Structure 1
């Protein structure tokens, strides 16, 4: 009953956050990939938002999804296959796509509760620490592959733990299959599988479960290799070059954000003091974990440490810095279980209260949301205006979230590389100043230079997201 009640609460909380948060850059790739056009064919001239709604609502076959991923992305296909099947049932809306991630997050919480019962960890603290961790909640509501990978990782981890407990090798095989499915959902989920295999290697009695777990994992790794062999060059330059000290600083910053969210962002001038207080709180919690060791502490600690250490190793090998909150989120459920098992009641209450405040920020604070949706609402408040929107690197991450939030009657023209639309007869223009990638920055610079060189145009910055431009020479 406790588990069922908590899952109902979690469903309401995550569902509300999924509904309230603005749409995001990367989610557009999920939407368009499963709609049948990984790179949507936007019209070349001015068009209304209503005329392109169909681009958000098509359907792709499983083979087309696999083909499009191999030729232009860096993800395995399992989540996208699941999302396409879900969209055929639940409909094409952005919120419906997010609800699938919410369902996977609820399943992950249920598995976390199962592990807590196996390891004699207090149930409600374990579930609360997991749900209120910013990284878990954030990746648990966006239309990307993290929530499904998190579920499979927790399932595989728990099945292998149970296999060792009950000395049943078939459970280890099932655990390996689940860990493999996680890696076939998100490549970086494999760090958890590495932690599980290392734990099996470190105990003589546990080693008998190593081979079946590895046998379950291997077919998925081979499938991953087939996809990644075609994909590895498709996102060149996505991350900065690797440098040890900057990478460590970013790791500490993002790991803190995965735990406590954007709390320092809300503190204004007191942000350094709040960040220091959160660091002290976290170090005190870690000290409690170290002082209260138990039989389940080692596998949990290995699983919690694997993602940050794996990201550092990956960066050093490939000379990039793939450190982000969403990848570090794979560590959070195992750290949550350690905290629930070790913290004394006063510290436990303080940690949960702080984390819950971070989740409120996730739900309501614009500081943690991407700006495409806000920019669209500001532009929509200027009726009769032509909206100039950067096309971006590939016409997905900027136009998708932005146009999805516009009313059907809003008129849009995309700023494509090397092009400017004909604007001589357009009396009112809203230039959207979103620059999340190199192509959008170049397009915005070119557009601003064009308007500055034309005597007919008068620019008036309306906000940090758009500039109003009046054409005095228009009919």
Structure 2
């Protein structure tokens, strides 16, 4: 339901256009209708074309986008159908997570409920982006590595293949694989070495992409300092578990945030005290610690909810089995409210889709829309949600706002914020 209800998002437009063969769509100059450019969303790109586009101007490896291209050929080019692929990957990840719980003699029901109701897990699980596939592959790799510790060596080989595929889906998935193979190396170093051999071809391909992509998104994150990084880790870590609940509280935002922090610390206390799934806390810490290390090395702050979501299955395995029934029920109820906000609350949604619906109230006017940094993340979702007969003018540098135009104030990136500043529009959409 969340995949259907949430409006289209900035980064998803990159997935759509990349797999449609228009990594940077050539929007018409001057006024055009939304329906006249629908074909830009509907094409298909080959594997080599996708790889070339990623190496030339992106920061992601190709595996998910190859899978999405195949899926769009079968299921159709729509935005919702692209999201359904991530839903399928999420269900596969939940199946693997249940298998891990049973293997470790932990109650699968509470673990799956806590994972699924964690805002970050549900959010990344419906986006047309690589996160759900990377999560599912990491979960499968952990399952096989756990079984390989006291099982045949071929399971370690299979675990390495899955961890390698996860890295080729999202580089950050490597943190989980590295942490799990460190544990396997402590238990059975020969099997860990075999897993690393299986990962090696994937890591070589990742390195080939990374060499070309280095510096492609300069300025994407704020400069690194420990205060900003730790504050972001606390904020986005809380958001990954509880979503935007403090945002809905208005003036009571800070007290609500403090109550949620107290709830989380109480849950963490029980997890550490119980010890039933305590080892998974260390696995869950791999991603945030890895992000901090990346920030220190590359002098930026790559901390976001969608990245920290990679830790949530392991947090669920550590916390959910340790909680008393009433505390578990309280946690799940609070998380359910957060997921309801994910589906319904505008405060946690990007504005492009909502802006298109608001602008449709002036059916004959020209809609002046920021072009954005590269014409992908701002106009892509907006035009996808707009009626086919909406007349649109993209505000590139030097393009003036025509008299009587509907002005759309979307400040999603540096260029769109600059345009929004000169629109003189205090609200999201201002009529003529």
For structure 1, list consecutive stretches of 5 or more residues without a partner in the other structure. 1-15, 449-460, 470-475
Within 2, Cα distance between the matches of 1:465 and 1:275?
27
1:263 to 245, 251, 265: 245
Pick aligned residue for 2:303 from 320, 323, 328: 323
Pick aligned residue for 2:129 from 144, 159, 164: 144
Distance in 2, matches of 1:308 and 1:320, equals: 14
Match of 2:47 in 1: 62
**Residue 4 of structure 1 corresponds to which residue in structure 2?**
none
Name 2:346's counterpart in structure 1.
366
Aligned residue number for residue 226 of structure 1: 208
Aligned counterparts of 2:105 and 2:423: Cα–Cα separation in 1: 62
Give the secondary structure class of the aligned counterpart of 1:388: strand
- Structure 2 distance, partners of 1:318, 1:288, is 36
Encode CA deviations 1:190-245: one digit per residue, 9 max, x unaligned: 110111122123x3x33232101111222111110000100111100100100001
CA distance in 2, matches of 1:183, 1:110: 20
Matched, 1:272 2:254: yes
> Within 5 Å, which residues of 2 pair with 1:118-133?
118-133=103-118
Do 1:263 and 1:358's aligned partners in 2 also have CA atoms closer than 8 Å? yes
SS in 1 for 2:105: coil
User: Helix, strand or coil for the counterpart of 1:235?
Assistant: coil
How big is the shift at 1:446? 4.4
1 CA distance for matches of 2:400 and 2:194?
Answer: 60
RMSD, matched Cα = 1.2
8 Å CA contact retained: 2:145, 2:181: no
Residue 447 of structure 1: how far off its partner (Å): 4.8
Alignment partner of 1:38 is 2:23: yes
| Conservation of the 8 A alpha-carbon contact between 1:121 and 1:340 | no
> Where do 1:309-348 residues align within 5 Å?
309-348=289-328
Q: Does 1:85 align with 2:85?
A: no
1:297 equivalent in alignment to 2:278: yes
CA contact (8 A) 1:418 1:443 kept: no
Is residue 362–residue 431 contact of structure 2 (8 Å, CA) maintained in 1? no
Match of 1:47 in 2: 32
Structure 1 residues 445 and 345, CA gap change in structure 2 (3 angstroms): closer
| Whole-Å separation in 1 of the counterparts to 2:322 and 2:200 | 35
Q: Report how many residues are paired.
A: 432
Partner of 2:172 in structure 1?
Answer: 188
CA distance in 2: counterparts of 1:466 and 1:290, whole angstroms: 49
Counterpart position of 1:215? 197
Instruction: Quote how far apart the aligned CAs of 1:61 are.
Output: 0.6
Alpha carbons 1:78, 1:184 under 8 Å: kept? yes
Quote the Cα distance in structure 1 between the aligned partners of 2:147 and 2:369: 53
Distance 2:419 2:344 in 1: 31
**Match for residue 254 of structure 1 among 222, 236, 246:** 236
CA displacement, residues 324-369 of structure 1 (integer Å, 9 cap, x when unaligned): 0000000000101111221121111111111111111111111110
CA distance in 2, matches of 1:420, 1:405: 24
SS in 2 for 1:387: strand
Where does structure 2 lack aligned partners over 5 or more consecutive residues?
none
Compare CA radii of gyration and give the structure with the larger one. Answer: 1
**Which residue of 1 is the match for residue 420 of structure 2?**
444
8 A contact 2:409–2:423 mirrored in 1: no
Match of 1:286 in 2: 268
Contact 1:247 1:312 (C-alpha < 8 Å) held by counterparts: yes
Deviation string 1:76-128 (CA, Å, 9 cap, x unpaired) is: 00000000100011111100000000000000000001111101111111110
State the SS of the aligned residue for 2:399: coil
The residue aligned with 1:10 is none
Q: How does 1:1-40 map to 2 (within 5 A)?
A: 16-40=1-25
Give secondary structure in 2 for the equivalent of 1:267: helix
* Inter-CA distance 446–271: structure 2 relative to 1 (3 Å threshold): closer
Classify the secondary structure of the residue corresponding to 1:413.
Answer: strand
SS in 1 for 2:49: helix
Contact map agreement 1:376 1:406 (CA 8 A) in 2: yes
